[in-house]
């Protein structure tokens, strides 16, 4: 088999109609995947960096291109439900119900892995994360490739996930064969990762589908206490072992350190103003990540409005773009308003807490 190479070290950039992707372009991109190449593509959550999930060498290139730790497993993307039966050795009834309700869509199901899946994909675990994305370009690409597609978010490891093709270019230009530009991703945060290998389903990563939505379909769902990367209260430091390996790494980090303030909106705004003044007086360039409701409070600093507190989905869709915007503005510190961790707010706060890397204040 001829492997696709990129001798010039340059990445092809192909624009596609997000609603009706050109079949010729999709066939070319699908062939590149089948031949072992890397293709970045839009999904409804964030942009993914795809490789043939059944090709261990191609999958290894994903880790290389992103600088991703080897022990962090990848999600396998499918375009039809039949493929799930070939990737998982057991598909519980709850999985079927969830696929009916939420696929295609931002929900990844962790199931017991079949032994056809290369170890590079599962990072040696005996389970595999599978999802069917809702974006027409993603579905057309997977179908054109004719193979399941392993795809992490298409950012350098540790950076905020990309919600536009421009973000992918910033991180991965020259490292991958193709970027498919299908416009901005809609949800803006990654899929919910739900572990179905135990007795009770457990959310390993909150995302596009909320706990409340899942519980309507399958009853009790637990949230892994380690989702924010903080050990359970009472457990000695170092004893915390996350069930999803990705949870132990610092993530979603803009270049400047981020301080997160959580609590009642008015108190949060007051504390943020105080912090901003003190950093400004020391000559720091200050970025403020605000919600639309309280943005008017800040008269100084670079204020970026993420969205509405009353509708956390608006914040979700713009959060990663806002974090990257602070890089462009060249601020020295980012002061961020926390929101209520419910519904989509849970996913937003998970990403913010991890970006804050323990610099969290509760007022
Ligand atoms: O929305 C998304 O899920 C995006 C788009 C591209 O589909 N993908 C994505 O992939 O966010 P990535 O690699 O950035 O995050 C995958 C997460 C990691 O936290 C990883 O540890 C977890 O899923 N994961 C994958 N397979 C797993 C498994 N078998 N068991 C537990 N966690 C798993
Ligand atoms: Mg990621």
The yes-or-no verdict on residue 325 having pLDDT over 60 is yes
Mean pLDDT within 102-109: 98
Ion ligand 2: residues, CB within 5 A, are 153
Is residue 72 within a helix (H) or strand (E), and if so which, with residue range?
Answer: none
The pair of structure tokens assigned to 167 is 């973000």
The pair of structure tokens assigned to 306 is 């993420």
45 has binding-site annotation: yes
Cα atoms found within 13 Å of the Cα of residue 209, Cβ hemisphere only:
26
Question: For a pocket test of ligand 1, which of 38, 66, 75 has the largest count of ligand atoms closer than 8 A to its C-beta?
Answer: 75
The yes-or-no verdict on residue 155 having pLDDT over 60 is yes
CB 304 within 8 A of CB 326: yes
- Whole-prediction pTM value? 0.93
Return the SS3 of 297: helix
The yes-or-no verdict on residue 3 having pLDDT over 90 is no
Which residues approach ligand 1 with their CB closer than 6 A? 43, 45-46, 48, 72-75, 106, 108, 110, 122, 125, 127-129, 133, 151-153, 190-191, 193, 204-205, 244-246
C-alpha dist (Å) from residue 335 to 182, 238, 348: 32, 28, 15
Alpha helix locations (H) across the chain?
Answer: 23-34, 56-66, 82-87, 93-102, 119-122, 136-145, 165-172, 211-218, 265-281, 312-329, 344-356
Mean pLDDT within 325-332: 96
Q: How far apart are CA 190 and CA 202, in angstroms?
A: 16
With bands split at pLDDT 50, 70 and 90, how would you rate the model's confidence at 236? Answer: very low
Cβ-based burial of 231 (10 A; exposed 0-12, middle 13-18, buried ≥19): middle
Q: How far apart are CA 218 and CA 101, in angstroms?
A: 10
C-alpha dist (Å) from residue 260 to 157, 225, 263, 333, 359: 22, 20, 10, 11, 6
Q: How far apart are CA 255 and CA 257, in angstroms?
A: 7
7-234 and 258-362 share one fold: no
Alpha helix locations (H) across 124-210?
Answer: 136-145, 165-172
CB 322 within 8 A of CB 304: yes
Mean pLDDT within 28-34: 98
The yes-or-no verdict on residue 58 having pLDDT over 60 is yes
Helices (H) and strands (E) in the chain, counts: 11, 16
CA nearest ligand 1 atom 32, residue: 244
Per-residue confidence (pLDDT) for residue 225, from 0 to 100: 86
Share of the chain above pLDDT 90, in %: 88
The yes-or-no verdict on residue 233 having pLDDT over 50 is no
20: left (phi over 0), alpha (psi -120 to 50) or beta: beta
Mean pLDDT within 306-329: 97
Mean pLDDT within 144-152: 98
Strand partners, 205: 193
* Distance (Å) from CA 251 to ligand 2 centroid: 8
With bands split at pLDDT 50, 70 and 90, how would you rate the model's confidence at 121? Answer: very high
Query: For 240, phi and psi rounded to 5 degrees?
Result: -70, 125
The fold for domain 258-362 equals Rossmann fold (3.40.50)
Closest atom, ligand 1, to C-alpha of 68: 13
Question: For a pocket test of ligand 1, which of 88, 190, 249 has the largest count of ligand atoms closer than 8 A to its C-beta?
Answer: 190
What pLDDT, in 10s, does the model give residues 77-103?
Answer: 999 999 999 999 999 999 999 999 999
* Distance (Å) from CA 276 to ligand 2 centroid: 30
Question: For a pocket test of ligand 1, which of 108, 110, 120 has the largest count of ligand atoms closer than 8 A to its C-beta?
Answer: 108
The pair of structure tokens assigned to 136 is 């027409």
**Which ligand sits nearest to residue 247's alpha carbon?**
1
Place of tokens 């409701």: 293
What pLDDT, in 10s, does the model give residues 260-279?
Answer: 999 999 999 999 999 999 99
Q: At what angle do helices 211-218 and 93-102 cross, to 10 degrees?
A: 130
Per-residue confidence (pLDDT) for residue 250, from 0 to 100: 64
CA nearest ligand 1 atom 24, residue: 73
Number of other CB atoms surrounding residue 3 within 10 Å: 12
Per-residue confidence (pLDDT) for residue 226, from 0 to 100: 81
The yes-or-no verdict on residue 234 having pLDDT over 90 is no
Domain boundaries, the chain: 7-234, 258-362
For the chain, give the longest Cα–Cα distance.
62
The pair of structure tokens assigned to 168 is 């992918």
CA nearest ligand 1 atom 20, residue: 246
Q: Is the bond into 12 cis (omega within 30 degrees of 0)?
A: no
* Distance (Å) from CA 189 to ligand 2 centroid: 10
CA nearest ligand 1 atom 10, residue: 152
351 has binding-site annotation: no
CB 189 within 8 A of CB 316: yes
Closest atom, ligand 1, to C-alpha of 208: 1
Q: Return the CATH architecture of domain 7-234.
A: Alpha-Beta Complex (3.90)
Share of the chain above pLDDT 70, in %: 91
* Distance (Å) from CA 161 to ligand 2 centroid: 6
Per-residue confidence (pLDDT) for residue 253, from 0 to 100: 84
Closest atom, ligand 1, to C-alpha of 133: 7
Q: How far apart are CA 336 and CA 55, in angstroms?
A: 41
Question: For a pocket test of ligand 1, which of 50, 70, 73 has the largest count of ligand atoms closer than 8 A to its C-beta?
Answer: 73
* Distance (Å) from CA 131 to ligand 1 centroid: 10
């Amino acid at each position: 088999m001829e492997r696709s190479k990129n001798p010039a070290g340059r990445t092809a950039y192909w624009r596609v109609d997000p609603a009706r992707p050109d079949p010729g372009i999709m066939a070319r991109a699908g062939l590149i995947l089948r031949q072992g190449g890397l293709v970045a593509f839009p999904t409804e959550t964030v942009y993914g960096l795809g490789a043939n999930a059944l090709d261990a060498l191609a999958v290894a290139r994903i880790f290389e291109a992103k600088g991703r730790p080897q022990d962090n497993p990848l999600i396998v993307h499918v375009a039809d439900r039949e493929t799930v039966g070939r990737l998982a050795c057991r598909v519980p009834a709850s999985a079927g119900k969830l696929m009916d309700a939420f696929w295609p869509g931002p929900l990844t199901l962790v199931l017991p892995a079949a032994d056809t899946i290369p170890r590079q994909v599962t990072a040696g675990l005996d389970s595999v994360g599978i999802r069917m994305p809702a974006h027409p370009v993603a579905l057309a690409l997977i179908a054109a490739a004719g193979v399941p597609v392993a795809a992490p978010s298409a950012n350098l490891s540790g950076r905020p996930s990309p919600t536009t093709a421009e973000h992918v270019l910033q991180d991965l230009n020259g490292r991958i064969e193709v970027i498919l530009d299908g416009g901005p991703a809609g949800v803006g945060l990654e899929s919910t990762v739900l572990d179905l290998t135990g007795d009770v389903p457990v959310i390993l990563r909150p995302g596009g589908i909320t706990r409340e939505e899942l519980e309507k379909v399958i009853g009790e769902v637990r949230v892994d206490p380690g989702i924010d990367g903080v050990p359970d209260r009472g457990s000695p430091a170092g004893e915390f072992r996350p069930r999803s390996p990705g949870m132990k790494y610092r993530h979603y980090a803009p270049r400047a350190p981020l301080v997160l303030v959580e609590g009642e909106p008015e108190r949060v705004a007051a504390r943020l103003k105080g912090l901003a003044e003190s950093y400004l007086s020391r000559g720091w360039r200050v970025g403020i990540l605000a919600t639309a409701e309280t943005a008017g409070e800040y008269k100084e600093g670079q204020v970026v409005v993420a969205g509405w507190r009353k509708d956390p989905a608006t914040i979700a869709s713009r959060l990663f773009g806002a974090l990257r915007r602070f890089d462009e503005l060249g601020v020295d510190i980012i002061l961020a308003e926390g929101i209520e961790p419910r519904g989509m707010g849970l996913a937003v706060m998970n990403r913010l807490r991890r970006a804050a890397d323990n610099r969290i204040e509760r007022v």
